């Protein structure tokens, strides 16, 4: 499973940009609000100015009508109402008596008020306002008191006017109180209010869109960042998996060029990715099937590759197509498995199987042969004694006895190989083992005129069966003496490497070919005419019983080195 990303939100440049944009929008909104407040302030001032002018004109009209009335004797109220209604801001003016009669009116008049409505307004004693539905009219209604209290008449002309005012007050008192209804047009205010409303809706919609866009941008940014992080984790995960593969991996594009490989492939081919640029698969592997590039199914074949040192390496090649999302082929993936160790294991398994079969056969045959050999040897001694000393019969009898002894020794080795004795390991010092070995082989080295050298730590501990390990070393030294010419050199070295003990026997003999090294531990294989071919097979078996191994390094004409690797005494 590919690990997913768990990224939390972090303050970043896109978020800072959105905050700055929101701040700028808030500043614009604040400036617009201030401007609206200033505009409303100006409208209010204009309204007050218009009302003041109306008041002034009303006083002017009142003055003019008073003079006309004084000179012509007409009622000034009609003229005052008519003059005042001419103002743009005044829609209508109506003055009614308490009983509902019209005293004066002018303008675009609404329907007349009912008596109960007039009485409720008069009873309230305050200014009653309302907005007429469906019209841009703001209506004010209040008690109307046009005549001031009478003052003493100034002589001499004031007496006449005083008398006239007194008469008017008496007439008003008889008819009752008056109610004035003024309708003011609110068209400009409604237009300004509608404009403010539209601007507020526009700014709100703009703010909503910007906020939504900002949140969506943050969501996209967060999703993009999580996707990038997931992609980076996936790439890292894939790279780690590919690099940790023990098998080599190579990818090929559609043109057949190598575009990538892991470390195992570079080590196996002894080439870097740069070294493989422009190199075809035929130059790396052989033999390859001709339709490898067009192969669509998983393919596994045995091929060889040659590393930088010229070594032919057996590998198992597996290929599979590299597909795109639409199913089209975009290249090929090649997986290589190094088969050298597996081949060695297969060879060892085959050898073990052959040795096991041979051991079973040898155990049965040896018992069947040993008993007749004892009888033959007895008859040979008898006929030798009967023939007399110095006769041909005695000579042939001794030859028969020596051949029977040699065959009996071969059968003993075969039995030892077939039914190996279980080791009895003990802890000992290397000095005790190698001194005994030198004493036993001293005469052989002297007879072959071969120099023998030893290099080891006398106190180094060994944990093994002394007799079996001595038998192995004797076999190795005897084989070295048999292939080393007079004046040659044989060296015995023992040292500790990590937690293992390495005992090495090297000589300056003729060496071995590759075929001889492959069959070295096969039973009955020997390069000596008088050899049984069981010495190294038994030695190999004994070393395996000690949980060790034998490694061989030989060059033809230079010499051979046999290394016995055993677990250390502490293991």
Residues 560, 449 share a domain:
yes
Residue 97 lies in a domain: yes
Cα dihedral 423→427→428→429 (10° resolution): 130
- Residue 115: how many other CB atoms lie within 10 Å: 12
Q: How far apart are CA 99 and CA 86, in angstroms?
A: 27
Cα dihedral 256→261→266→267 (10° resolution): -130
Residues 533, 396 share a domain:
no
Per-residue pLDDT tens over the stretch 399-432 = 888 878 777 777 766 666 666 667 888 888 888 8
Percent with pLDDT over 90 in the chain: 3
Per-residue pLDDT tens over the stretch 432-462 = 888 888 888 888 888 888 899 988 888 888 8
Distances (CA, A) of 557 to 477, 484, 518, 527: 18, 11, 18, 15
Q: How far apart are CA 276 and CA 284, in angstroms?
A: 9
Residues 235, 177 share a domain:
no
Q: Long-range contacts for 218-227 (Cβ within 8 Å, ≥24 apart)?
A: 218/14, 218/15, 218/18, 221/12, 221/14, 221/15, 222/7, 222/9, 225/7, 226/5, 226/7
Q: Is 142 exposed, middle or buried (0-12, 13-18, 19+ CB in 10 A)?
A: middle
- What is the model's pLDDT at position 172? 65
Q: Are 479 and 448 in contact (CB under 8 A)?
A: no
Residue 173 lies in a domain: yes
pLDDT above 50 (res 2) = no
- What is the model's pLDDT at position 109? 84
Q: How confident is the model at residue 231 (pLDDT cuts 50, 70, 90)?
A: confident
Q: Report DSSP state, residue 89.
A: T
Residues 228, 116 share a domain:
no
Residue 516 lies in a domain: yes
Residue 3 lies in a domain: no
How many domains does the chain divide into?
5
Residues 192, 59 share a domain:
yes
- What is the model's pLDDT at position 63? 46
- What is the model's pLDDT at position 293? 60
pTM: 0.41
Indicate which CATH number applies to the domain containing 174.
3.30.450
Residue 515 lies in a domain: yes
| Domain assignment of residue 180, given as a range | 90-185
Residues 56, 21 share a domain:
yes
Q: How confident is the model at residue 262 (pLDDT cuts 50, 70, 90)?
A: confident
- What is the model's pLDDT at position 506? 92
Residue 81 lies in a domain: no
Residues 547, 456 share a domain:
yes
Residue 82 lies in a domain: no
Per-residue pLDDT tens over the stretch 349-373 = 877 777 667 667 766 666 677 777 7
pLDDT above 70 (res 374) = yes
Per-residue pLDDT tens over the stretch 97-119 = 888 888 888 888 888 888 888 88
Q: How confident is the model at residue 504 (pLDDT cuts 50, 70, 90)?
A: very high
Residues 285, 179 share a domain:
no
- Residue 260: how many other CB atoms lie within 10 Å: 15
Residues 350, 324 share a domain:
no
- What is the model's pLDDT at position 9? 47
Residue 466 lies in a domain: yes
- Mean predicted lDDT score pLDDT of the chain: 76
């Amino acid at each position: 499973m590919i690990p997913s990303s768990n990224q939390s939100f972090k303050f970043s440049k896109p978020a800072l940009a959105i905050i700055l944009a929101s701040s700028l929008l808030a500043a614009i909104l604040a400036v617009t609000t201030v401007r609206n407040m200033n505009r409303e302030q100006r409208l209010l001032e204009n309204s007050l100015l218009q009302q003041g002018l109306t008041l002034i004109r009303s006083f002017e009209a009142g003055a003019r009508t008073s003079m006309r009335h004084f000179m012509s004797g007409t009622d000034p109220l009609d003229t005052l109402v008519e003059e005042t209604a001419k103002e743009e801001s005044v829609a209508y003016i109506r003055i009614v008596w308490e009983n509902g009669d019209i005293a004066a009116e002018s303008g675009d008049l609404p329907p007349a008020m009912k008596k109960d409505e007039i009485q409720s307004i008069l009873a309230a004693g305050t200014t009653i306002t309302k907005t007429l539905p469906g019209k841009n009219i703001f209506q004010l209604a209040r008690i109307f008191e046009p005549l001031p209290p009478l003052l003493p008449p100034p002589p001499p002309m004031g007496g006449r006017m005083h008398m006239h005012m007194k008469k008017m007050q008496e007439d008003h008192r008889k008819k009752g109180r008056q109610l004035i209804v003024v309708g003011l047009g609110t068209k400009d205010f409604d237009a300004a209010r509608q404009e403010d409303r539209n601007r507020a809706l526009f700014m709100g919609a703009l703010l909503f869109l910007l906020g939504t866009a900002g949140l969506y941008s943050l969501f996209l940014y967060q999703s993009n960042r999580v996707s990038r992080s997931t992609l980076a984790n996936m790439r890292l995960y894939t790279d780690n998996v590919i690099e940790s593969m023990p098998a080599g991996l190579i990818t090929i594009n559609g043109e057949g060029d190598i575009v990538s490989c892991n470390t195992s492939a570079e080590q196996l081919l002894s080439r870097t990715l740069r070294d493989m640029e422009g190199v075809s698969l035929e130059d790396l592997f052989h033999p390859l099937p001709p339709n490898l590039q067009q192969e669509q199914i998983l393919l596994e074949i045995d091929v060889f590759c040659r590393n930088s040192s010229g070594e032919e390496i057996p590998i198992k090649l597996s290929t599979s197509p590299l597909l795109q999302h639409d199913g089209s082929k975009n290249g090929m993936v090649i997986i290589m498995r190094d088969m050298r160790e597996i081949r060695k294991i297969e060879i060892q398994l085959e050898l073990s199987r052959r040795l096991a079969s041979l051991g079973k056969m040898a155990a049965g045959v040896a018992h069947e042969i040993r008993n007749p050999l004892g009888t033959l040897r007895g008859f040979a001694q008898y006929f030798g004694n009967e023939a007399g000393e110095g006769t041909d019969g005695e000579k042939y009898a001794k030859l028969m006895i020596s051949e029977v002894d040699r065959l009996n020794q071969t059968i003993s080795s075969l039995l030892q190989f077939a039914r190996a004795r279980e080791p009895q390991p003990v802890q000992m010092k290397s000095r005790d083992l190698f001194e005994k070995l030198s004493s036993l082989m001293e005469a052989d080295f002297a007879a072959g005129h071969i120099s023998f050298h030893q290099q080891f730590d006398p106190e180094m501990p060994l944990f093994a069966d002394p007799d079996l390990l001595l038998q192995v070393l004797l076999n190795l030294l005897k084989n070295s003496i048999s292939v080393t010419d007079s004046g040659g050199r044989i060296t015995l070295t023992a040292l500790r490497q990590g937690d293992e003990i390495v005992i090495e026997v090297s000589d300056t003999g003729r060496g071995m070919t590759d075929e001889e090294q492959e069959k070295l531990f096969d039973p009955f294989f020997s390069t000596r005419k008088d050899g049984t071919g069981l010495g190294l097979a038994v030695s190999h078996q004994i070393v395996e019983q000690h949980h060790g191994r034998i490694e061989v390094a030989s060059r033809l004409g230079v010499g051979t080195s046999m290394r016995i690797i055993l677990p250390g005494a502490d293991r």
